[in-house]
Structure 1
Amino acid sequence: MNEFAKALSISTSGMQAQSTRLRHLSENISNADTPGYRRKTIPFRTEFDAGGGVAKVEVGRMSLDQSELEQVYDPSHPLADDAGFFNGSNVDLLIELADAREAQRSYEANLKMFEQARQMSSSLMQLLRR
């Protein structure tokens, strides 16, 4: 595998990982008001591709955040107990939005790297044709 292909492979794996992260973040944001919803998290790990000789970003198994669920007081809610409380979600919108911005910027950085490697490869091919 040549160096351009390695660069494309690395940046592609980064874009795929951030895309998956953004999907989980959007699910968390959309379910922030769902009673009993637990925030989804995904870890990243480095996976070495022996065939290509590069280390790629891989997404680990999705897990649910086991932190305390918010106790919401609303005696009129159908899920409320005798004291008027029910379990809300453990999604903090501020954290989710900050994580989404970080994932978006990382995705954009990987995209720029991909475009740069593709452009360099194209320029090299044009030089070799002359």
Structure 2
Amino acid sequence: MADFSDAMNITASGMKAQAARLRHVSENIANADTPGYRRKTVSFEAEMQAGRTTGLVETGRVRLDQTDLGEIYDPSHPLADANGMYQGSNVNLLIEIADAREAQRSYEANLKLFDQVRQMSTSLTDLLRK
């Protein structure tokens, strides 16, 4: 039964990590038109315990994408310089949508695995009762 518990913990940690990733993707999409906004990225790391990996996943530090900010020409914008240019964001909506889909699919895969383990655990418990 401990193996079932471990498997459920691992899939739950994967769902938690993908939910965090999706939250950052949502923030990026919401701020795509915010001047000076830098895209946020999150990495995943294997959880270690006594020098060995546990199979659990945790999110690493949130990092800001250091690619150049887009230059936008709009002389009427309050942030525009003498040439009428200001810095936009470095968010690419196509990349964000692809990241959101990948996070969603990974979350769903972990959820299916969680459900499978739960069903197997229930079936084993039912067999042991007979």
Gaps in structure 1 of 5+ consecutive residues: none
Percentage of identical aligned residues? 65
Aligned length: 128
Gaps in structure 2 of 5+ consecutive residues: none
1:28-80 Cα deviation digits (max 9, x unpaired): 00000000000001111111345xx7321110010111110000000111110
Amino acid at match of 2:22: L
* Segments ≥4 residues shifted beyond 2 Å: none
The residue aligned with 2:57 is 57
What is the CA–CA distance in structure 2 between the aligned matches of 1:112 and 1:54, rounded to whole Å?
21
What is the CA–CA distance in structure 1 between the aligned matches of 2:73 and 2:48, rounded to whole Å?
50
Change (3 A) 1:49 1:112: farther
Is contact 2:72-2:88 (8 Å) kept? yes
| Correspondence list, 1:5-16, <5 A | 5-16=5-16
Superposition RMSD in Å:
1.2
What is the CA–CA distance in structure 1 between the aligned matches of 2:68 and 2:118, rounded to whole Å?
47
Flag the structure with higher strand content: 2
TM superposition score normalised by structure 2: 0.95
The residue aligned with 2:29 is 29
